[in-house]
Amino acid sequence: MHSRIRRQTLSCDGPQQLSKIAKVIDAKKTINAFEDAFVILKKSTYTDKDTLALLTKKTKMFLLEIFGNIYQRLGQSSVVKGPGKKITYKLASLDIIVDKKQMPLGFISEHLPSYDKCDHCHELLCDGTGKGSMVIACGHGYHESCFTLLNGKCYYCEIFLKLGIKNNVSSLLSRLSELDKSKSKSKSNLREIIEADEDSLQDQRIENEDDILEVFRKNKQALPKAEQAYSIALEKFLNANIVI
């Protein structure tokens, strides 16, 4: 009873909620009328032993047919060349066409995996001499002795990966150099803008000085008035500093 209550309650339930849940569980346990009213019982259509045996036979037939077709189509897969450099593969065993991106790494390399030959010595993998052979994850197959000579590495896939890394690094370096050029160009443009602004300020300063001289030429009393205004402003400034 305690385990049933735990399965149907939460840690945040209060005493009243726990009491109600316990009463419902007890009612379901002891009163059949309660279960008949609120619980819908369904009988599985596969409980009959004869039905289960029939389903088992059908499943066996389906699997035998699928794997039989796969075995009969071994070695019939082919490469389908599309427009340009696009290459796809027809998997005869599954009767589908897939892109090379969906295939193991060996099918993207320059040397496609052989079906029944060693990709190093190009002899049959199973030649009846008792040589051990293997097909590794990339799809290439090797004799164990050949794979040992390659230091446990797939030669073709290693070349493909090294070339890809080299191309990606070269692309990254070229992008970084272009970024540096653009930054230096923007800095030079900014320097030109700043210099142009300084020149314009200097020109404006000269124009303002010319205006002042022109005022002095037209009005002879402008200079004494300016000196008087300056002395008054200076006196106010000094008095303000003394008060502070």
On whether the CB atoms of residues 41 and 54 are closer than 8 A, the answer is no
Per-residue confidence (pLDDT) for residue 85, from 0 to 100: 73
The number of folded domains in the chain is: 2
Per-residue confidence (pLDDT) for residue 173, from 0 to 100: 87
- Domain residue limits at 176: 160-243
Closest by CA position to 120, among listed 103, 97, 136, 98: 136
On whether the CB atoms of residues 158 and 106 are closer than 8 A, the answer is no
In this structure, how many other beta carbons lie within 10 angstroms of the beta carbon of residue 120? 18
* Contacts (Cβ under 8 Å, ≥6 apart) of 233: none
Spell out the per-residue pLDDT of the chain, length 244, in tens: 566 666 666 667 777 777 777 777 776 666 666 666 666 766 666 666 667 777 888 888 888 888 888 888 877 888 887 777 778 888 888 788 888 888 888 888 888 888 788 898 888 888 777 778 889 989 899 999 899 999 988 999 999 999 999 999 988 888 888 887 776 666 666 666 666 655 555 555 545 555 555 555 556 566 666 666 667 666 766 675 554 4
Residue 124 lies in a domain: no
Per-residue confidence (pLDDT) for residue 176, from 0 to 100: 84
Residue 75 lies in a domain: no
Residue 222 lies in a domain: yes
Residue 8 lies in a domain: yes
Compute the distance between CA of residue 119 and CA of residue 147 in angstroms, rounded to an integer: 10
Compute the distance between CA of residue 129 and CA of residue 1 in angstroms, rounded to an integer: 70
Kind and range of the H or E run holding 80:
strand 78-81
Per-residue confidence (pLDDT) for residue 66, from 0 to 100: 84
- CA geometry: angle 54, 57, 60, nearest 5 deg: 150
Residue 22 lies in a domain: yes
Residue 189 lies in a domain: yes
In this structure, how many other beta carbons lie within 10 angstroms of the beta carbon of residue 174? 10
Residue 206 lies in a domain: yes
In a 10 Å sphere around its CB, with 0-12 CB exposed, 13-18 middle and 19+ buried, how is residue 178 labelled? exposed
Residue 103 lies in a domain: no
Per-residue confidence (pLDDT) for residue 157, from 0 to 100: 92
Per-residue confidence (pLDDT) for residue 243, from 0 to 100: 47
Is 0.85 surpassed by the pTM of this model? no
Show the DSSP H helices in 92-154 as ranges.
144-149
